[in-house]
């Protein structure tokens, strides 16, 4: 029984991370119809920022981990995505793919391909006893931080004027602009939120693995992408739900697959997602914008 609960907690932990990745992707997709492949590189920039700030006190590390992806996200919006705003989703997709490749190559050029190790936040390491269970401290922190962030983003979207503008833009961008929503500001805000989510994810990832590599962004991106598709492209809460679902599924397979085929774990996860989509092609939550109006 206790092992089941422990596994559940570790599933919720990966789910939390996936939800962070997915939300960062969904918040931009909702407004711009842009699937940002470079979101993984925002996370990667967070891990390198933490590596570079390794000597500083933890709050400063977090600040740096947030600042780097934030600046990068706003920069990529300004340089790469603003000029082609309104282009077809295919063009946007390929642009972000090229951008992702560029940032990854740059990281390789600057830092080399070998992992950079740093001892991050020792206070987060180790495990604690909780109601008779042994739980990694980092897992608890990850779950708590994610819940706080989701709550924060939710409150921002539902309670503030700016959040309302963002939701309106996600619903119908043209209409929102006609009603006086400033496109540049709303999109910049979406990228800022995305960058901030990537920064936190980067910090948590770095705390988990202790190393930064140029390919750090790859798996977060892939899991974030499938989570958004599972959740329903265009829906923020669908993305979060998709993230938790993929995380739980991944852990479930990790625990139940026999040893001989455990190396195929990722193949099973992605295969399962593939077949989930057969039965629910539009994902869990189908936002109004996703339906074709005739």
Partner 1 sequence: MNASDRRAAVARRLWPLVSLLLLVSLTTLVLAGGSPSLQRVLLTGLVDLVLVVGRYCFVGQSGIISFGHAAFMAAGAYTMALLTIPAPLKGSLVAVPHTVRTGTVSPLIAILLAGLVAALLAAVVSIPLMRLNGLSAGLATVSLLIVVRVVSQNWDQLTNGLGGLYGIPPIADPWAALPWALGAIVLAFAYQSSRFGLRLRSSRDDEVAARSIGVHVKLERGLAFVVSAFVTGVGGALYARSVGAINPDSFFLDITFVVIAMLVVGGTTSLAGAVVGTLALSAISELLRQAEQGSLLVPAQSGVRDVGLAVVVLVVLLLRPQGLTGGRELPFPTVRLRRRSAAPSPPPASTQAPS
Question: With CB under 8 A as the contact rule, which of the stretches 11-19, 147-155, 161-169, 282-290 interacts with partner 1?
Answer: 282-290
Instruction: Pick between residue 95 and residue 142 the one whose CB is nearest to partner 1.
Output: 95
Contact between 102 and partner 1 per CB under 8 A: yes
Contact between 86 and partner 1 per CB under 8 A: no
Instruction: Pick between residue 101 and residue 160 the one whose CB is nearest to partner 1.
Output: 101
Instruction: Pick between residue 99 and residue 136 the one whose CB is nearest to partner 1.
Output: 99
Instruction: Name the phi and psi angles at 129, rounded to 5.
Output: -85, 135
For residues 65 and 200, the answer to whether their CB atoms sit within 8 Å is: yes
Report which of 136, 101, 112 is spatially closest to residue 51, judged by C-alpha positions.
112
Contact between 101 and partner 1 per CB under 8 A: yes
Q: Is 200 left (phi over 0), alpha (psi -120 to 50) or beta?
A: alpha
Burial of 59 (0-12, 13-18, 19+ CB in 10 A): exposed
CB of 211 to partner 1, least distance (A): 19
First and final C-alpha spacing in the chain:
53
Report which of 77, 43, 40, 62 is spatially closest to residue 185, judged by C-alpha positions.
77
CB of 233 to partner 1, least distance (A): 6
CB of 164 to partner 1, least distance (A): 26
Question: With CB under 8 A as the contact rule, which of the stretches 117-125, 158-166, 175-183, 276-284 interacts with partner 1?
Answer: 276-284
User: Contacting partner 1 (CB under 8 A), which of 153, 196, 229, 249?
Assistant: 229
For residues 133 and 9, the answer to whether their CB atoms sit within 8 Å is: yes
Report which of 11, 25, 21 is spatially closest to residue 234, judged by C-alpha positions.
25
Question: With CB under 8 A as the contact rule, which of the stretches 45-53, 93-101, 121-129, 184-192 interacts with partner 1?
Answer: 93-101
Beta strands in 14-103 (DSSP E): none
Binders of partner 1 in range 152-181 (CB under 8 A): none
Instruction: Name the phi and psi angles at 135, rounded to 5.
Output: -125, 135
Cα dihedral 219, 34, 20, 100, rounded to 10, equals 40
CB of 237 to partner 1, least distance (A): 17
Q: Give residue for tokens 């958004």.
A: 228
CB of 106 to partner 1, least distance (A): 6
Q: Give residue for tokens 């309302």.
A: 164
Contact between 282 and partner 1 per CB under 8 A: yes
User: Contacting partner 1 (CB under 8 A), which of 166, 233, 236, 239?
Assistant: 233
d(CA 246, CA 241): 9
CB of 187 to partner 1, least distance (A): 17
User: Contacting partner 1 (CB under 8 A), which of 56, 60, 106, 179?
Assistant: 106
Contact between 286 and partner 1 per CB under 8 A: no
Beta strands in the chain (DSSP E): 116-117, 127-130, 133-136, 211-212
Footprint on this chain of partner 1 (rule: CB under 8 A): 35, 80, 83-84, 87-91, 93-95, 97-99, 101-102, 104-106, 108-109, 218, 222, 225-226, 228-229, 233, 263-267, 270-271, 273-275, 277-278, 281-283, 290, 292, 294
């Amino acid at each position: 029984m206790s092992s089941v609960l422990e596994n559940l907690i570790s599933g919720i932990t990966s789910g939390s991370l996936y939800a962070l990745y997915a939300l960062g992707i969904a918040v931009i997709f909702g407004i711009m119809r842009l699937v940002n492949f470079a979101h993984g590189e925002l996370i990667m920039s967070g891990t390198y920022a933490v590596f570079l700030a390794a000597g500083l006190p933890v709050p400063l590390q977090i600040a740096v981990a947030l600042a780097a992806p934030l600046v990068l996200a706003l920069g990529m919006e300004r340089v790469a995505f603003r000029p082609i705003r309104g282009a077809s989703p295919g063009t946007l997709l390929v642009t972000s793919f090229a951008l992702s490749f560029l940032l990854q190559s740059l990281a390789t050029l600057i830092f080399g391909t070998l992992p950079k190790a740093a001892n991050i936040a020792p206070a987060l390491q180790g495990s604690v006893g909780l109601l008779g269970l042994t739980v990694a401290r980092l897992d608890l922190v990850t779950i708590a931080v994610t819940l706080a962030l989701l709550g924060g983003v939710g409150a921002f979207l539902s309670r503030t004027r700016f959040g309302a503008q963002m939701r309106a833009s996600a619903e119908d961008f043209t209409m929102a602009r006609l009603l006086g929503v400033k496109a540049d500001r709303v999109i910049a805000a979406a990228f800022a939120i995305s960058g901030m989510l990537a920064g936190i994810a980067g910090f948590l990832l770095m705390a988990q693995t202790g190393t930064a590599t140029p390919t750090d962004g790859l798996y977060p991106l892939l899991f974030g992408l499938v989570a958004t598709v599972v959740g329903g492209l265009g829906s923020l809460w669908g993305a979060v739900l998709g993230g938790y679902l993929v995380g739980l599924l991944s852990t479930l397979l990790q625990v139940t697959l026999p040893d001989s085929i455990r190396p195929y774990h990722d193949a099973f996860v992605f295969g399962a997602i593939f077949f989930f989509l057969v039965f629910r092609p539009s994902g869990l939550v189908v936002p109004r914008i996703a339906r074709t109006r005739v």
